[in-house]
Structure 1
């Protein structure tokens, strides 16, 4: 069997969906109401395709020691196309929120508290696993100065914005999480730009919010250099939020021709381009995303309850699958043994750990992500106390 055959991907996806169905039958979780159910259904597949992308990378890494794109457009685009669509989802949802809020003041503290509650808890879990696995791989012995190690740990805890350094002498630390944290600085930079995007969309952010976010943008760009081509992905999502209001577009997107066109547009970049990060590929994917946001369900696939259930655990799956791959190949099987695997044996291992990836992602969502998101308002109130105190101090200064 070819290591880049599509059959293992289909088999693993079937295992993942079967695992989701098993978990759903055990529990009584209800899917939340959503205006954009097609996007909810899309996200889970994107995260799972990223897992398959890194599973393919691991096969070749074990053979030649090089962590690079697999020699297959299918498996390369499983990662790159998924990331492009993830960024479009982010751009769409927040542009839609800003458009919906025109004419009403936005509580920016609530917005950023919700982002912290959404991204930080599961990220801290991933970082705890990263640190534990680094120390496990290095025999729980200190191999660099404590101050240097703590500084590197801080870099990782800051969503790897400063850097993604090797820790405690373990070369290729980023492999433990499959390098997925590289996308998070882009997410945060976009969030910090929201007040300025709000101005373009007819909102009036407070000068304080704009000043604070300008400072955050300056700090991020001082520590990290983005690939600005990827900004087009957020732009594509934002423009989609404007376009989906068209009832004509909604009707076409939900039609059979609309679904066929959407499917063709999703597949086209993988046929035409080696990378999804080229401008033309981004444009094509942007059109596909526009149709999905407008209601194209890929013939009902994206609106199925199972797809939406998989979509709920997207972020945890994105963060945690790398750790499970690392544990499987480096710690349990052993690199030398895994290196000797045939393509079939490698993909049988991936199929075997697929239920673990789904289960770990579900548990992380259920017990870490979801409770934290439900407490975002309490976090907003907590963060607002120092600002409220400063306002009161300004109104009633203490006599010197």
Structure 2
């Protein structure tokens, strides 16, 4: 039986990176120059491997008739491990902010405003794209009852992947990736409570009630579509939190950032991806967690994670994560000529997918530049304005 070739990842990644380099000559995305830069690059490559994971699924579906990559360890890990590392990064970055907080106080209003403006603007646009696709597939017919159609959209606003316009395969348009965004928001809701418990961060009763309400809201709204709600899928946040404490030790940082450790990290990642069919096992999970701690300590893996193009890839990683499944669906579901071409062989599939990857880099660069970045800046401005208002209010009282 033909399976997606793991060697196909190298030309696809090469085409994506070259395309990103070229498009950035025109779009001009500036890489970050401070902060946890290795994690920026890591985030970018994880988003790219999720794209490869779903591309491999389409390859197997179109060439062999099966939506599965169970026999290909690397492609399975590209899906599972990448999302786990996203969760580790979230736990690490946000708990680091708590640890560094002066006077053990956080402006939680600023925090939630910034999170909302970071996540939702691009997602709403992608959701509109999905609704347009559903409209096309439904011959522009809105099926009654209309109250159900409205509720479906509300569920999707909470990242719950239910039907849309009674189209039961709507989650396939996003390759069911939205569960991770719901999980991220559940972590954001718990964040103040975790800070209060572990770091004695000051929080009000109002914030406690808001956090619990937000957590319950995302949890309940995702019950219909979330099939991944397990302790295992939440545990990477704890790995990130543990790493945030661990790297505060300068000896850990010194050891973790050594070049010999970089070599071992690369070997551990390759070994985990090659010899294990899932990260849901103690040994591969341990290898990936140790690798993450080393990278969180500042290890750039010989500069792979901190070179110019890797940092740009990290900047557009959210766009890649949200947009790639929609692009794959459109290309491999709605263009019969392309479907006929790529169904003939793996080689033709991966050649076309390289072109799709290049197109993805163009789209995501533009979406970051003209959608994500303006709203990130707006979040900063709104946050500063909130601080000013609170400062004036405290002075007058």
TM-score (ref. length: structure 1)? 0.89
* Aligned positions of 1:159-198 closer than 5 A: 159-160=159-160, 164-198=161-195
Once structures 1 and 2 are overlaid, which stretch shifts more, 67-76 or 305-314?
A: 67-76
Alpha-carbon separation, structure 2, partners of 1:136 and 1:46: 32
Q: Deviations over 1:75-95 (max 9, x none)?
A: 111111111111100000001
Gaps of at least 5 residues in structure 1 are: 396-400
Pick one of 202, 216, 219 that aligns with 2:217.
Answer: 219
Tell me the matched-pair count.
Answer: 387
* Aligned positions of 1:354-365 closer than 5 A: 354-365=357-368
Structure 1 residue 125: Cα displacement: 1.4
Structure 1 equivalent of residue 234 of structure 2: 231
Change (3 A) 1:123 1:28: closer
The reply on whether 1:244 has 2:247 as its aligned counterpart is yes
Contact 1:253–1:295 (8 Å) recurs in 2: yes
Once structures 1 and 2 are overlaid, which stretch shifts more, 79-88 or 136-145?
A: 136-145
Alpha-carbon separation, structure 2, partners of 1:360 and 1:292: 29
Structure 1 equivalent of residue 81 of structure 2: 81
Change (3 A) 1:327 1:235: same
Structure 1 residue 334: Cα displacement: 5.3
Pick one of 320, 328, 335 that aligns with 1:325.
Answer: 328
Structure 1 equivalent of residue 270 of structure 2: 267
Structure 2 equivalent of residue 23 of structure 1: 23
Contact 1:44–1:312 (8 Å) recurs in 2: yes
The reply on whether 1:308 has 2:311 as its aligned counterpart is yes
Structure 1 residue 63: Cα displacement: 4.7
Structure 1 residue 174: Cα displacement: 0.9
Gaps of at least 5 residues in structure 2 are: 224-228
Q: Deviations over 1:144-164 (max 9, x none)?
A: 43222221122112222xxx2
Q: Secondary structure of 2:178's partner?
A: helix
Structure 1 residue 360: Cα displacement: 0.8
Contact 1:47–1:315 (8 Å) recurs in 2: yes
Structure 1 residue 66: Cα displacement: 4.7
TM-score (ref. length: structure 2)? 0.90
Alpha-carbon separation, structure 1, partners of 2:288 and 2:333: 35
Alpha-carbon separation, structure 1, partners of 2:386 and 2:131: 28
Change (3 A) 1:63 1:154: farther
CA RMSD after TM alignment = 2.6
Q: Secondary structure of 1:180's partner?
A: coil
Contact 2:342–2:348 (8 Å) recurs in 1: no
Structure 1 equivalent of residue 58 of structure 2: 58
Change (3 A) 1:336 1:22: closer
